[in-house]
């Protein structure tokens, strides 16, 4: 089973009623959204890769992207 990209936690006053759910259509304005760190890093990398390779060149862009991923992972 693949882990969801986002998980939502309903904001209840009684912790015994707290419910985790994955569907975005069930969200309320008071819900708290959690995003997996690896999903965030991957999505940001997909966005940055074409920009970095175009403006910094293939090798430099790839190096910057790898530094970004390591930084985001805390390495």
Domain count across the chain: 2
**Same-domain check for residues 28 and 52:** no
For residue 1, being part of any structural domain is answered with no
- The per-residue pLDDT string of the chain (75 residues; one tens digit each, 9 = 90 and over) reads 566 777 666 665 555 555 555 555 556 666 667 778 888 888 999 999 999 888 888 888 889 999 999 998 888
Please check whether residues 10 and 30 belong to one and the same domain: yes
- Residue 14's domain spans which residues? 6-35
What pLDDT is stored for residue 74 in this prediction?
87
- DSSP symbols for 1-70: -PPPSEEEE---SSGGG--EE--GGG--TTPEEEE-HHHHHHHHHHHHHHHHHHHH-HHHHHHHHHHHHH
Establish if 30 belongs to a structural domain: yes
Residue 24, in any domain of the structure: yes
pLDDT the model gives residue 53: 86
Q: Are the C-beta atoms of 9 and 31 separated by less than 8 Å?
A: yes
* One domain, residues 65 and 43: yes
CB 61 within 8 A of CB 55: yes
């Amino acid at each position: 089973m693949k882990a969801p990209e986002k998980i939502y936690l309903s904001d209840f006053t009684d912790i015994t009623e707290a419910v985790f759910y994955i569907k975005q259509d069930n969200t309320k304005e008071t819900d708290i959204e959690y995003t997996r760190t690896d999903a965030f890093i991957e999505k940001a990398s997909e966005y940055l890769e074409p920009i970095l390779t175009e403006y910094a060149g293939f090798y430099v862009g790839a190096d910057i992207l790898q530094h970004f991923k390591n930084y985001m992972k805390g390495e």
